[in-house]
Amino acid sequence: MPPKKKIRVKDSKKTKAEARAKSAEKIIAVPEGKYVEAVGRRKTSVARVRIYPGTPFAFAVNHKPHEEYFPTFELRSIVEAPVSKTNYPKKFSVSVRVNGGGIHSQAEAVRHGISRVLEKIDPVLRKTLKPLGFLKRDPRAKERRKFGLKKARKAPQWAKR
């Protein structure tokens, strides 16, 4: 007698919207003193972001206040964008360790990390963060230099004779 084949039956009654709604109900309850962590990346910068819910608002990057680490208004607005755009209550402190790359790509890596942590804490925020592009890791990086060329694509001047 041949072995019986197992057949998978898809449940067509369950739609994608219902599955998303079910996953959105899972809001992480973090005990006091614990943190939620995520990694944000951009070019060669890597930011490890930890958010401590239920603590007074503080924002430290590499053990410095974020105003000191990111000196310009533009960089600070990049870093603070996920919190300001979602109108999430500032009842948490943020600790970030970032290295690699330049200051601008570090700011974007921190933004990516904060967005990912906020989404872990409250999955409903995904609807606001995703269209803004904060959850996508920006894949653009400098192209490598090829041999025989001066830069990635710049060739030495060509002479006919």
Domain ranges within the chain, ordered by starting residue: 32-161
Angle subtended at Cα 81 by Cα 135 and Cα 69, rounded to the nearest 5 degrees: 105
Q: Is the pLDDT of residue 116 over 70?
A: yes
* Confidence grade of residue 161 (pLDDT, cut at 50, 70, 90): confident
CA-closest candidate to residue 49, choices 122, 103, 98: 98
Tokens (6 digits) for 31? 């005990």
pLDDT, residue 54, reads: 85
The domain made up of 32-161 has a fold known as Ribosomal Protein S5; domain 2 (3.30.230)
Tokens (6 digits) for 136? 């996508």
* Confidence grade of residue 25 (pLDDT, cut at 50, 70, 90): very low
Average pLDDT, the chain: 85
How far is residue 115's CA from residue 80's CA, in Å, rounded to a whole number? 10
DSSP-derived 3-state class of residue 141: coil
pLDDT, residue 23, reads: 47
pLDDT, residue 4, reads: 61
pLDDT, residue 50, reads: 94
Query: Strands 36-42 and 45-53: what pairing?
Result: antiparallel
The DSSP 8-state label assigned to residue 100 in this structure reads: S
Higher pLDDT, 127 or 18: 127
